[in-house]
Amino acid sequence: MTETRPNRLLDAIDAPSDLKGRSRADLKQIAEEVRHEVIDVVSVTGGHLGSGLGVVELTVAIHAVFDAPADKLIWDVGHQCYPHKILTERKDRMRTLRQAGGLSGFTKRAESEYDPFGAAHASTSISAGLGFAKARDLQGKDNHVICVIGDGSMSAGMAYEAMNNAGADRSRMIVILNDNDMSIAPPVGAMSHYFSRLVSSRPYRGLRRIAKKVIQPMGLESPARRAEEYLRGFAMGGTLFEEMGFYYIGPVDGHDLDTLLDLLENIKAMQDGPILLHVVTQKGKGYAPAENSADKYHGVSKFSVVTGEQAKGAAGPPAYQKVFGQTLAKLGETDDRICAITAAMPSGTSTDIFGKKFPERHFDVGIAEQHAVTFAAGLAADGMKPFCAIYSTFLQRGYDQVVHDVAIQQLPVRFAIDRAGLVGADGATHAGSFDIGYLGALPGMVCMAPSDEAELARMVLTSLQIDDRPSAFRYPRGEGVGVTIPNILKPLEIGKGRVVREGNAIAILSYGTRLQEALKAADMLAAQGLSATVADARFAKPLDNELIERLAKEHEVLLTLEEGARGGFGSFVLEHLANCGALDSGLKVRVLTLPDIFQDQDTPAAMYDQAGLTARHIAARAIEALGRGDLSAIERLASA
């Protein structure tokens, strides 16, 4: 529950309507209380901190001026939506953030009527906002549509595609560009604020209309419009947005609540076409540890509010992403054609390890997965050896480029697919569920998945040596299993798996890091006298057909196991078994995949349990298929 403190105005704010009629002094106090509430909440739950702290005043101003949920407020990505959630009937549930059965870390339609559009991938807000604006117009409504998009999200082409469409369409909508990295804005000060108030005011806009009527018959409308745009561009910037059809206002200080309230009231009264308000904010505003951090505490674990120190888990094996980054950096020492490419996630993918050693060969292209893939294709086409490191969920955005620019041309781009499988607190939007199927469908693609960190290191090397076609290796979020990585790596034989335990009744063929659960399941089965073979597939494409046929021939039951959606590795194996006639003689096959649902956030362990991909589920499916064995004994072993 939210803590109640003496004289705290926020305790009386349950919905945006409670902000109406408040004095500006009250609104400023409420903003500060929202900021402290965000800090307190995230210190307990972990999550995105810096971006939310940067938009506190903006969020309060928007909700004080506009009338959500009738007015549609769309947050791009959703990293910055915690203050919005506090003000929209979810204040008392904020400490359930990113937990099972709790609030999502992003906006979510099913969660609240104040979240008109769910977001967790960047650069969607303007497209969605134009959809809402057109729906409003077609239905004869009169509400406002407000999209808040960060300067990072503006690096993606989709944002400009949407702005181009919106500018040509001329539907009434408001885009607020939250520039929190100073990557766009010139210095902000009193003169900029003055011009912004002026050009958004009713008298100025009235004068423009009168002038337009006067000069139109004289044929001077176009030259006059250009002159005004250049004058405003000189005073305030924004010529690019004007050229795209938006009426540009800004830049303004996004922490100056008085200015924001004045501007938003003016903008609310404007009736013609799309408007872009450019605000400059500071990530981590109001919390010194975040302000002083290199990443402004973008994403944090639980932390001490007093010191800012984040909780650290017990030391364990290296994370898979670190193994990838360290291996690539080591290989880069002996091959100067290796390049690393990431889409705004250098630390998230650990390409920054490579980048520190070889900055001239490390490329962060921003939130632009489509560009990242085709950029890598261009590098490969001229003899370089690019590794394109992108989260599975984000690579989906570049799939067309994977098909047309890489696969069809058989270019040796190496895809390092991070966050494959379930990701815990970030939920369905960030789960890496689909890459096995969508990459395995492509002719010539080599698809690999390691069972441990040593196997991942070998796959990085294997991928490097594939020069005639594209390749991909997927690995999950989190730590490895603790195996030793050899100092001298040996590449894998393409399309060849391995048997790690021999048995005779049941075969478990695992693709990826569920191999450890498969081995535990084999132990459970062995306790009942049921002998199980456990094999590590290593490759989903090309398949190890010889291994698969051997397992089918020598066992009564064959289980396939993967951390991906239906239509992936298990489907490939089934297709081969059917085509080679292995299913004609009574072989019992079970395919274990992620369930055919979008799983909500929880701990990874709980999510895999729900998915039926833990040892007890694997053993139970084997017993069910075999038709003998004690299911209750499996449950007892699992709970022991």
Is it the case that residue 248 has pLDDT exceeding 70? yes
pTM for this model (two decimals): 0.86
Q: How far apart are CA 111 and CA 98, in angstroms?
A: 13
3-state secondary structure of 42: helix
**Burial of 374 (C-beta count, 10 Å sphere; 0-12/13-18/19+):** buried
Q: Would you call 312 a catalytic residue per the annotation? A: no
Angle, alpha carbons 121-125-129 (nearest 5°): 150
Q: Which amino acid is at 314?
A: A
Provide the β-strand partners of residue 145.
72
Tens of pLDDT along 65-102?
999 999 999 999 888 999 999 999 999 999 999 999 99
30 φ/ψ angles, rounded to the nearest 5 degrees: -60, -40
Q: How far apart are CA 329 and CA 417, in angstroms?
A: 17
Across all residues in the chain, what is the average pLDDT? 90
3-state secondary structure of 472: strand
Its sign, for the CA torsion 61, 64, 66, 68, is positive
Q: What secondary structure does DSSP assign to 55-82, as a single string?
A: THHHHHHHHHHS-TTTSEEEESSSTT-H
Q: Would you call 283 a catalytic residue per the annotation? A: yes
Q: How far apart are CA 149 and CA 177, in angstroms?
A: 5
Tokens of 300: 């944090």
- Residue 402 carries which DSSP code? I
Domains and CATH numbers, the chain: 23-205+220-292 (3.40.50.970), 320-474 (3.40.50.970), 498-639 (3.40.50.920)
Q: Is 292 annotated as a binding residue?
A: no
Tens of pLDDT along 374-413?
999 999 999 999 999 999 999 999 999 999 999 999 999 9
Is it the case that residue 233 has pLDDT exceeding 90? no
Q: Which amino acid is at 89?
A: E
Its sign, for the CA torsion 101, 102, 105, 108, is positive
Q: How far apart are CA 550 and CA 531, in angstroms?
A: 16
Q: How far apart are CA 471 and CA 466, in angstroms?
A: 7
Q: Is 152 annotated as a binding residue?
A: yes
Cα 111 off chain centre by = 19
Q: For 405-421, what is the HEC assignment?
A: HHHCCCCCCEEEEECCE
Catalytic-role residue among 90, 136, 283, 520:
283
Tens of pLDDT along 29-56?
999 999 999 999 999 999 889 889 999 9
Q: How far apart are CA 236 and CA 537, in angstroms?
A: 59
Q: How far apart are CA 27 and CA 64, in angstroms?
A: 8
Q: How far apart are CA 616 and CA 506, in angstroms?
A: 15
Cβ contacts of 637 within 8 Å, gap of 6 or more: 524, 527, 616
User: With bands split at pLDDT 50, 70 and 90, how would you rate the model's confidence at 188?
Assistant: very low
Angle, alpha carbons 62-65-66 (nearest 5°): 75
Placement of tokens 């984000």 in the chain: 394
User: Is beta strand 498-501 parallel, antiparallel or unpaired with respect to 446-448?
Assistant: unpaired
Of residues 571 and 221, which shows the higher confidence score?
A: 571
Q: Please answer whether residues 192 and 199 qualify as being in contact, where contact means their C-beta atoms are separated by less than 8 angstroms.
A: no
User: Is beta strand 506-511 parallel, antiparallel or unpaired with respect to 47-48?
Assistant: unpaired
Q: Is 180 annotated as a binding residue?
A: yes
3-state secondary structure of 146: strand
Cβ contacts of 553 within 8 Å, gap of 6 or more: 582
Is it the case that residue 622 has pLDDT exceeding 90? yes
Q: Which amino acid is at 41?
A: V
Is it the case that residue 216 has pLDDT exceeding 90? no
Catalytic-role residue among 369, 453, 517, 562:
369
Tens of pLDDT along 594-603?
999 999 999 9
Placement of tokens 């009564």 in the chain: 556
Provide the β-strand partners of residue 278.
177
User: With bands split at pLDDT 50, 70 and 90, how would you rate the model's confidence at 315?
Assistant: confident
Tokens of 20: 């109406």
Dihedral angle computed from the Cα positions of residues 447, 451, 453 and 457, in that order, rounded to the nearest 10 degrees: -30
Tens of pLDDT along 482-515?
999 999 999 999 999 999 999 999 999 999 999 9
Cβ contacts of 209 within 8 Å, gap of 6 or more: none
Tokens of 46: 């972990």
Is it the case that residue 187 has pLDDT exceeding 50? no
Q: For 213-280, what is the HEC assignment?
A: HHHHHHCCHHHHHHHHHHHHHHHHCCHHHHHCCCEEEEEEECCCHHHHHHHHHHHHHCCCCEEEEEEE
Is it the case that residue 194 has pLDDT exceeding 90? no
Q: Give the pLDDT of residue 185.
A: 44
What percent of the chain is modeled with pLDDT above 90?
Answer: 75
252-271 burial, b at 16+ Cβ within 10 Å, e below that, comes to bbbbbbebbbbbbebbbebe
Q: Give the pLDDT of residue 301.
A: 80
User: With bands split at pLDDT 50, 70 and 90, how would you rate the model's confidence at 292?
Assistant: confident
Q: Is 79 annotated as a binding residue?
A: yes
Q: Is 389 annotated as a binding residue?
A: no
Q: Would you call 357 a catalytic residue per the annotation? A: no
Rama region for 529: left / alpha / beta (φ>0; ψ in -120 to 50; rest) = left
- Cα separations (Å) of 561 from 199, 438, 509, 589? 62, 17, 6, 11
Catalytic-role residue among 35, 85, 397, 616:
397
**Burial of 306 (C-beta count, 10 Å sphere; 0-12/13-18/19+):** exposed
Q: Is 287 annotated as a binding residue?
A: yes
